[in-house]
Amino acid sequence: MRDDDWEEFLQEVKIFCSKHDIEIPDLESFYKIGPYRSHDQITIERYHHFNVFNETIDFIMMELNTRFNDISTELLTHSAALDPKKSLESFSIHDICTLVEKFYPGDFSKQDICSLDYDLLHFELDMKKESQFQLSTLVQLCR
């Protein structure tokens, strides 16, 4: 999010402000520390992008990195492969197979684990043909 989502985030903020009649400043004007002094000729947008947005993301990442051990972090990372939010963008056969083999081996038979890679490959091909990704179908396929 820190690297790629500033523009998307800014659009959402603008929509929110418009919807709630909140004045949006001219983001291309210079950021001022006080009523008269500009801050090194930095635009309002640049200030909020780097000094607010990115620093907030960095702070949240630092907090998250200290709260989760390596195993929990790995589980969360691999679980992202099941996120239906952006269709097949986050879908990862490798991550799902790792989840099953490392974190849920007792929930699947050895035969299911062996055929999972092949089944998920077919699932991915079928989903690419479909216009919408259905998480419930993925859950049923994994079981």
Angle of helix 110-129 versus helix 135-142 axis, rounded to 10: 160
Same domain, 75 and 133: yes
Same domain, 49 and 106: no
Same domain, 75 and 138: yes
Per-residue pLDDT of the chain (143 residues; tens, 9 = 90+): 777 788 899 999 999 999 999 999 899 988 877 666 655 678 889 988 988 999 999 998 888 778 878 888 888 888 888 887 766 778 889 999 999 999 999 999 989 988 999 999 988 887 777 645 455 565 566 66
Same domain, 136 and 87: yes
**pLDDT given for residue 139 in this prediction:** 56
**pLDDT given for residue 41 in this prediction:** 79
Same domain, 22 and 40: yes
* Chain centre distance of CA 108: 28
CA atoms within 13 A on the CB side of 87: 9
Inside any domain, residue 20: yes
Same domain, 44 and 94: no
Say how far apart CA 18 and CA 11 lie, in whole Å.
11
Inside any domain, residue 108: yes
Same domain, 35 and 89: no
**pLDDT given for residue 133 in this prediction:** 47
Domain count, the chain: 2
**pLDDT given for residue 83 in this prediction:** 81
**pLDDT given for residue 63 in this prediction:** 87
CA atoms within 13 A on the CB side of 34: 2
Host domain of residue 90: 70-142
Same domain, 60 and 15: yes
